[in-house]
Amino acid sequence: MTVCASCDWLGNSPSFGDDFITYTIRAGEHEVQNNLNAPFTSSSMRFQALFDSSCIYQNKLPENQNDINKLYGFSDCSSQHQQNSARFGWNWREGALRIYAYIYVNGQRTEKELGTAELNEPTSFKIALQDNNYLFTFRGVETAMPRHCSGGVGIAYKLLPYFGGDEPAPKEIKIKIRNL
């Protein structure tokens, strides 16, 4: 029998009161704590996210309020994520938490606003591969976005929450995610 007296949790630890994982971005940072880019091999990603009042923020420069923060997604086409990837994005703008489809296709970034999410309510998200498209599902509505390759994702990794754009998080941001 092996006993570990000083074991540390590797990666982001579950919050044990539920099956969500809490991702924390510290004030002045862009990336979550313990950012591990775990391998991704599926043809779809389904999850729920829960945003709380920590996601209400004000950037230093007003024009940066339009910058899209990244929620969750994956790299694609056996390339780095700023070459090919699909993920959901979000920002706090005009009194609402806005959700976006956010992609890189052959190095070109494109985003599309999909709607708003309510604070403190689990919201469902899905990204699926379909031929040369990503299908983003938010609030039951499918939105197709172009994809650089077809078939599986190849050698790929998950993309965890990230704050910014240009500015780092102005305060601590917490987002809970549950894989489905």
Identify the bridge partners of residue 178 per DSSP, sorted by sequence position.
Answer: 48
Which tokens hold the place of 117? 């999410």
Q: What's the confidence (pLDDT) of residue 18?
A: 73
According to the model, what pLDDT value does residue 78 have? 96
Split the chain (180 residues) into runs of 10 and give each run's mean pLDDT.
46 62 96 88 96 97 96 97 97 97 97 98 96 96 96 94 95 96
Q: What was the pLDDT predicted at 158? A: 96
Q: How high is the pLDDT of residue 58?
A: 96
Query: What is the model's pLDDT at position 1?
Result: 46
Q: How far apart are CA 69 and CA 79, in angstroms?
A: 21
Give the whole-angstrom CA distance, residue 73 versus residue 88: 6
Residues 6+ apart with CB under 8 A from 90: 51, 55, 68, 69, 70, 71, 97, 98, 99, 100, 117
